[in-house]
Amino acid sequence: MPDGPAVVLLYDDTFEGLLSAVFQSYSFHPAPETVESGSLCQQKLGCRYVEAIPSEEQAERVIAGIRKTMGWAAYEKVWTAFQSAFEDKGDAVYQYIRIGMRVGRGIHQKITDPRVMRVDKICALVGREAGMFRQFIRFSKRAGGVYYAPISPEHQVLPMLMPHFCSRFSIQPFMIHDKTHNQAGIWDAKDWYITSAEGLLPPEAAEDDRAYQRMWKSFYDTIAIRERINPVCRRNHMPKKYWKDLTEMQWKNEDPYQESRIPLPSELSAQMVKGLSQGGISQSPGLGSLERMIGEE
């Protein structure tokens, strides 16, 4: 079909569907301009839209092709890019595979090619977010001994988090609740799986949990060296968007314990502490929490 309108392939938002679309793109000459998500795509005039038919067999052949021609690392990139939340990820993956199939393993040296850079960038962002959650996930102990952690990631990082935490907490059942994508990753101390979190009600908090949360918060506040306070550095390493679910960043001002814990032990003499504990520790002067001392960032 020479010189007809540019073809746009639509895929059905699944990984299998996207790879099938890539497969089917090879039957068009010239090659389709792009691959877009069928549900997000706003059709424009002057393009011909063709829905790709999802096929398990075709997807598997594409996967095998990528692994053989471009190498395992390339397949991993394709998969990771697909976990991202970018609307044009279909196009990114499509362009990447098309040139990869032509240049083979040389793709890994073409790090300044815009199509390769685009996929690298997406993967880096997804990987970065997964890394952040490896650091900043906070579990709380729930009734029945299950550990529960809510997260709100931008990208679908659950499949990247589960292996890490399952290996680490091998004898401890837990659940990571991805509120953005409404999914839950569950580890029952034997297998893990990801399931829809529709109607998920996490069990009640275990009795002793609050005590450990407070101890952690107290440790966190104590360990900072006042003479070195550096909000910029903290925010850089621990961006504010993660604070919402961080145990140590909660109860800034409303926790009564906060008021009482203000003078650090090293600022008190042993004599003063004796006096304090006799008078009840909550009576000590409220100097304002460390947070307030730094000022609202």
- The site for other proteins (CB under 8 A) is made up of 106, 108-112, 117, 134-141, 147, 149, 165-172, 212, 214-216, 218-234, 236-238, 246-248, 257, 261, 264-266, 268-271, 273, 277, 281, 290-291, 294
Minimal distance, residue 66 CB to other proteins, in Å = 19
Minimal distance, residue 9 CB to other proteins, in Å = 29
Is the Cβ of residue 10 or residue 261 nearer to other proteins in the bound state? 261
Strands 6-11 and 47-51: parallel
Minimal distance, residue 120 CB to other proteins, in Å = 10
Q: What is the largest CA-CA distance in the chain?
A: 92
Minimal distance, residue 67 CB to other proteins, in Å = 21
Minimal distance, residue 58 CB to other proteins, in Å = 30
Is the Cβ of residue 182 or residue 277 nearer to other proteins in the bound state? 277
Radius of gyration over alpha carbons of the chain, in Å?
26
Count Cβ atoms below 10 Å from residue 232 Cβ, excluding itself: 8
Q: Give me the count of residues in the chain.
A: 297
Q: How far apart are CA 64 and CA 78, in angstroms?
A: 13
Is the Cβ of residue 88 or residue 248 nearer to other proteins in the bound state? 248
Look at phi and psi of residue 11 and say left if phi exceeds 0, alpha if psi is from -120 to 50, else beta.
beta
Is the Cβ of residue 6 or residue 233 nearer to other proteins in the bound state? 233
Both tokens of 96, joined, read 């990447």
DSSP H or E segment with residue 65: helix 56-65
Is the Cβ of residue 135 or residue 196 nearer to other proteins in the bound state? 135
Count Cβ atoms below 10 Å from residue 221 Cβ, excluding itself: 16
Is the Cβ of residue 61 or residue 108 nearer to other proteins in the bound state? 108
Q: How far apart are CA 224 and CA 41, in angstroms?
A: 50
Minimal distance, residue 168 CB to other proteins, in Å = 4
Minimal distance, residue 89 CB to other proteins, in Å = 20
Look at phi and psi of residue 254 and say left if phi exceeds 0, alpha if psi is from -120 to 50, else beta.
alpha
Query: Hey, what long-range contacts does 234-239 have (CB within 8 A, 24 or more apart)?
Result: 235/297, 238/136, 239/132
Q: How far apart are CA 107 and CA 78, in angstroms?
A: 13
135-146 as b/e: b if 16+ CB within 10 A: ebbbbbbbeeeb
Is the Cβ of residue 12 or residue 255 nearer to other proteins in the bound state? 255
Count Cβ atoms below 10 Å from residue 117 Cβ, excluding itself: 13
Minimal distance, residue 104 CB to other proteins, in Å = 12
Is the Cβ of residue 89 or residue 138 nearer to other proteins in the bound state? 138
